[in-house]
Amino acid sequence: MALGILLVGGFGTRLMPLTSETPKPMLPVAGIPVTEHQIMAAKAAGIHTLVLATSYLANVFTPYFGDGSRWGIKILYAVEKEPLGTGGAIRNAAQLFDLANLGDEPIVIFNGDVLSRHSIAEQIKFHQSKNAEVSLHLIDVEDARAFGCVPTDSDGRVTAFLEKMENPVTQSINAGCYIFHPRVLNEIPLGKVVSIERETFPALVKDARAIYGYREQAYWLDVGTPAALFKGSRDLIDGDFQSLAECKIDPSATITGKSSLGARVEVGADCIIEDCIVGDDVIIGNGTTLRHCFIAHGAHIAPATNLENFYQSVRKSEPIPS
Ligand code: GDD
Ligand code: MG
């Protein structure tokens, strides 16, 4: 279980005028706001309480998300009167947690304009296995200039954090999902404008703190430009990015290979669903692996089933081999 903070307070300048009345994270991608896609991913990873760190057009979020009960997660709101920058926003939102009494409970922080299918649950496991103070999701991109460059050593330890540079030293970038130990959040000054990328991360690296990079090359997109927003919407519709709308997916399950899941599908623990078409109302038991399968609406698949190249006809009565 973990706590989360979602950064949704930026001005969305590159998307003006779309963001003149709607904050960037509330722009719809294939019918639902970016923030809603992220809330579903957070919930699927076992995050039970999520603070929305808002500033610009803050009052748009609460009527839509309320207390979060519709998504099965507790949503709280932290409002900055003036934008505090990414680090200041995180620190401000963290006031809603009892930092001093959290022990080692991981706090997961998300940039609010990212569609990602990396496994947050695996990132948390990695963070804990390294005994890290902070771990950052890293991905490789072709052109790293618009992002934070994050070189690491062979053990995954971050050796520098270089926000937006003309001649990137690596293709490995900050994908905008961090896990923080509560102690490190407590060190960020309260009520001040702080950039997590330009101040906090470089200072932590300089002080040789335990900052690690978690590498996972899953679907990833920052929707911060009009071209990227359209790409996100197209990817969702053609299945490159899998929507979690209405589905119950265990955090330990892996959905890959452009699989598409229908409405109200339930996927149990440790399942692997690769390159599959899964109909509505399908229930997939724990420990099942499906590769290149077509599963018809309403099918119930027993735990520990292994199927490959299996096409189930639409007749529900047909038994599924296991
Ligand atoms: N609450 C709050 N207050 N949120 C903020 C503020 C603020 O003052 N400033 C920015 N944010 C939020 C934005 O709404 C967005 O969700 C997130 O912080 C990141 O800001 P962007 O403006 O989208 O940054 P970027 O895309 O240029 O760069 C960031 O993301 C890249 C990955 O997409 C950096 O973190 C890079 O290092 C990273 O590679
Ligand atoms: Mg961005």
How many Å lie between the centroid of ligand 2 and the Cα of residue 277? 31
Q: Please check whether residue 320 lies inside any domain of the structure.
A: no
Paired strand residues for 30: none
Whether 107 and 250 share a structural domain: no
Whether 258 and 201 share a structural domain: no
- Domain end position, chosen among 222, 250, 279: 222
| SS3 at position 171 | coil
Whether 128 and 246 share a structural domain: no
Helical residues (DSSP H) of 174-263, grouped into ranges: 182-186, 201-206, 226-237
Q: Give the ligand whose atoms come closest to the C-alpha of residue 147.
A: 1
Whose alpha carbon is nearest atom 17 of ligand 1?
Answer: 111
Spell out which residues have Cβ within 5 A of ligand 2, the ion.
113, 222, 224
Read off the pLDDT of each residue in 135-148 and give the average, rounded to a whole number. Answer: 97
Asked whether 289 and 306 are in contact (CB, 8 A), the reply is yes
What does DSSP assign to residue 229? Answer: H
Q: Rounded to whole angstroms, how far apart are CA atoms 144 and 223? A: 15
Confidence of residue 225 (pLDDT cuts 50, 70, 90): very high
> What's 54's domain CATH number?
3.90.550.10
Whether 151 and 193 share a structural domain: yes
| SS3 at position 173 | strand
Q: Please check whether residue 45 lies inside any domain of the structure.
A: yes
- The minimum-distance atom of ligand 1 relative to the CA of 55 is 1
Q: Please check whether residue 74 lies inside any domain of the structure.
A: yes
Q: What is the pLDDT of residues 11-57, one digit of tens each?
A: 899 999 999 989 999 998 877 899 999 999 998 888 999 999 999 99
Read off the pLDDT of each residue in 135-147 and give the average, rounded to a whole number. Answer: 97
Whether 134 and 165 share a structural domain: yes
pLDDT greater than 60 at residue 316: no
- Domain end position, chosen among 190, 222, 254: 222
Domain count within the chain: 2
Q: Which token pair is 157?
A: 């330890």
How many Å lie between the centroid of ligand 1 and the Cα of residue 86? 6
pLDDT greater than 90 at residue 321: no
What pLDDT was estimated at residue 264?
Answer: 84
Whether 78 and 194 share a structural domain: yes
Whether 163 and 203 share a structural domain: yes
pLDDT greater than 60 at residue 84: yes
Q: Rounded to whole angstroms, how far apart are CA atoms 148 and 172? A: 9
Q: What is the dihedral of CA 84, 86, 91, 95, to 10 degrees?
A: 80
Whether 147 and 251 share a structural domain: no
Q: Please check whether residue 160 lies inside any domain of the structure.
A: yes
Q: Please check whether residue 132 lies inside any domain of the structure.
A: yes
Helical residues (DSSP H) of 66-207, grouped into ranges: 85-94, 120-129, 182-186, 201-206
**DSSP secondary structure, 275-314, as one string:** S-EE-TT-EE-TT-EEES-EE-TT-EE-TT-EEES-B--S
Whether 248 and 217 share a structural domain: no
Residue range(s) defining the domain that contains residue 152:
2-222
Q: What is the pLDDT of residues 256-289, one digit of tens each?
A: 777 888 878 999 999 999 988 888 889 999 999 9
Whether 57 and 178 share a structural domain: yes
> What's 300's domain CATH number?
2.160.10.10
What pLDDT was estimated at residue 263?
Answer: 78
- Domain end position, chosen among 222, 246, 281: 222
Q: Please check whether residue 227 lies inside any domain of the structure.
A: no
Whether 54 and 168 share a structural domain: yes
- The minimum-distance atom of ligand 1 relative to the CA of 53 is 1
Read off the pLDDT of each residue in 66-71 and give the average, rounded to a whole number. Answer: 91
Which among 7, 134, 158, 231 is the best mutation to test ligand 1's pocket, defined by most ligand atoms within 8 Å of the CB? 7
Whether 19 and 55 share a structural domain: yes
Q: Please check whether residue 130 lies inside any domain of the structure.
A: yes
How many Å lie between the centroid of ligand 2 and the Cα of residue 38? 14
Q: What is the pTM of this model?
A: 0.84
